[in-house]
Chain A
Amino acid sequence: MNYSATLLASLLLAGSLPALAEDVQHGENLYTIYCTQCHGVTGNGDGVNVPAMSVQPRNHRDQGEMSARTDAELFKAVKEGGKSINKSVLMPPWGGNLSDDDIHALVRYMRQLCCQSGG
């Protein structure tokens, strides 16, 4: 993804933390593996499964929508699923597959997707 190259480059320019870059890469990998099947390979909510779904997955590139949520709300939605926040069961709970650390990395990655995208 274009964007992650930009992001990595800016992290490097800022002379900063390889640990942070690693975390972003971890979040991006997890997102690619587990989330793009519904949320789309670009994160725009248009995944390959969408034609079969009655509720559109969230567009994680939509700054307005995503800004309306706190990190804690995103964390809960991912860990416990759509039902836990009175949303669709089509958003599954991932707490049985992913650790809390993994889910925190995903939340950080979604924040980059929505709001710091260079490309």
Chain B
Amino acid sequence: MRLKLLAGLVLTAGLFQPFPGALADTGQWLQSECGSCHALEQPDYPALGHAERLTRKGPPLYYAGNKFHAGWLESWLQDPVRIRPAGVFPPGAVVPSEEGDVIDPAKLEEHPALDASQAKMAADYLMELRPHDELIAATAYTPGAIASRMGELNFTKFNGCDACHSDGPGYGGLSGPELYTAWQRLQPGFIASFIADPAAWDPHTLMPKTGLNDSAVERLANYLKLIGEQAP
């Protein structure tokens, strides 16, 4: 990682002050603005245990460079519309009601927005965070086409992804991120790798690791491509 390398050079040179380069400054700025909700370095999951998930306030960002499209990231940070209908920790945002559990909008906060130059700096820094290049390299996925009906059956009946995710506005479950925008937001290799083994990315993910084979993963990723390219 570029930052580590620079820090290493500074240390070898015997300078123990914070490196004055732009990246390091951005890192400190992000840590103070965003670090209270987002992990910018990999947490010690085994030591923290599952309780880490109970107190998590935002999705992990320490593998942002393996996950997002840079252009999407930069523009979302300026106009952060909701991705997870029930927030990052659904049990904390829902309340029981006569009709079953419902989302309490009062428990969902608006995301802070950045101006254009801050968003550019933040996105440049976050895209350097790529601790899981090896997971991406291990996916065999090449984007392709799938018939809409077949894709939908894979997403619903065969694999039950729709229990937690929406594949169109107003359709599907609410505990996971909306997926009709996944293709715009996320790198294809990340999509395939996360579907195949979500726990490899996030040991405390709320998404079950179901052990799908490569061709099942491919069909699902291609379906997200199809609906993502149709999305407004």
Contact = CB atoms under 8 A, between A and B. Distances in A.
Contacts of B100: 40, 46-48, 50-51
A41 B50 CA distance: 17
B160 A90 contact: yes
Interface in A29-45: 29-30, 32-34, 36-38, 40-42, 44
A70 interface: no
A102 B173 CA distance: 25
B116 interface: no
Judged by DSSP, the binding face of B is loop
A19 interface: no
B3 interface: no
B172 A48 contact: no
The listed residue with most B CB atoms (<10 A of its CB), out of A40, A92, A93, A97, is A97
Contacts of A48: 86, 90, 94, 100-103, 173-175
A29 B31 CA distance: 28
The listed residue with most A CB atoms (<10 A of its CB), out of B51, B100, B157, B197, is B100
The listed residue with most B CB atoms (<10 A of its CB), out of A40, A93, A96, is A96
A95 B152 CA distance: 26
B91 A52 contact: no
Contacts of B50: 26, 29-30, 33, 102
A10 interface: no
Interface of B: 50-51, 53-54, 86, 90-91, 94-96, 100-103, 157-160, 162-164, 166, 171-175, 197, 199, 204-206, 208-211
Interface of A: 26, 29-30, 32-34, 36-38, 40-42, 44, 46-53, 81, 88-90, 92-94, 96-97, 102
13 contacts: A29-B50, A36-B91, A37-B164, A37-B173, A47-B100, A48-B90, A48-B173, A52-B163, A52-B173, A81-B208, A96-B209, A97-B209, A102-B50
